[in-house]
A and B are shown apart, each in its own frame.
Chain A
Amino acid sequence: GAGVSQSPSNKVTEKGKDVELRCDPISGHTALYWYRQSLGQGLEFLIYFQGNSAPDKSGLPSDRFSAERTGGSVSTLTIQRTQQEDSAVYLCASSLQVPGANVLTFGAGSRLTVL
């Protein structure tokens, strides 16, 4: 696609429910990143994919968070048993993994509100 697509744009859920957030990267971008942006905070790294594998998932805050990527394209971030502190904007980015050309292009994010 022309840009990075994320869905849903906004999600309101009740505490304890599971949510799935989707990211469709730019076609041909092998690297995919998830970040979390809490109110008034910078962007917190969650996980990085190269192809379908995740060499760095060090930013996932707990075992309630997981992510997968299939076909080297679409990625899904799943949050189980959501808590109020999970409320944030979840941003996805993709890039070509070429030294010197690794500029990340971001989607518009998914705003998650946990009541």
Chain B
Amino acid sequence: AQTVTQSQPEMSVQEAETVTLSCTYDTSESDYYLFWYKQPPSRQMILVIRQEAYKQQNATENRFSVNFQKAAKSFSLKISDSQLGDAAMYFCAYMGNSGYSTLTFGKGTMLLVSP
């Protein structure tokens, strides 16, 4: 079974600074997808960024980028120029690409942003 581990229950960052959230996963599959979702207090899960495992190039979405290390099974999220609106719970998630697959989530990292 796949597992996703987020070792940082909480992280803090000041506005305009950069923060990196860690995620590791375990799988025996060679083809899969990795995701970061953001969950603000409204509870709505919002997709931040997605990475296909077969792509070596790290995904980027504006201020959000990932460092995908397939051999190390590591998938960290970097948030640049942090904003107050970035404060939320961030979940790392894994999905295989064989037949159908479901998302397996880590326990989340709470990101606090201070002015």
Contacts and interface: CB of A to CB of B under 8 A. Distances in A.
Contact of B43 (A56, A97, A109): A109
Nearest to A102: B95
B83 to A, nearest CB: 22
B102 A108 contact: no
**What class of interface size applies to chain A in its complex with B?**
20 to 34
A56 B100 contact: yes
Those 8 A-B pairs whose CB atoms lie nearest each other, nearest first: A106-B45, A42-B107, A43-B105, A42-B105, A109-B43, A108-B44, A45-B102, A108-B43
Contacts of A108: 42-44
Contacts of B44: 106-109
A33 B100 contact: no
Given A42-B106, A56-B102, A108-B43, 9 more contacts: A43-B91, A45-B102, A91-B43, A93-B103, A102-B95, A102-B101, A106-B44, A106-B45, A108-B44
Interface residues of B, number: 23
Interface of B: 4, 33, 35, 37, 42-45, 47, 50, 52, 91, 95, 97, 100-108
> Chain A's interface: helix, strand, loop or mixed, by majority?
strand
Contacts of B43: 89, 91, 108-109, 111
Given A43-B91, A89-B43, A106-B44, A97 B103 contact: no
B91 A103 contact: no
Interface of A: 31, 33, 35, 40-43, 45, 48, 50, 55-56, 89, 91, 93, 97, 99-100, 102-109, 111
A56 B98 CA distance: 14
B52 A100 contact: yes
Contacts of B91: 42-43
Contacts of B100: 31, 48, 50, 55-56, 97
B97 A99 contact: yes
B47 to A, nearest CB: 6
A23 to B, nearest CB: 14
A91 B103 CA distance: 13
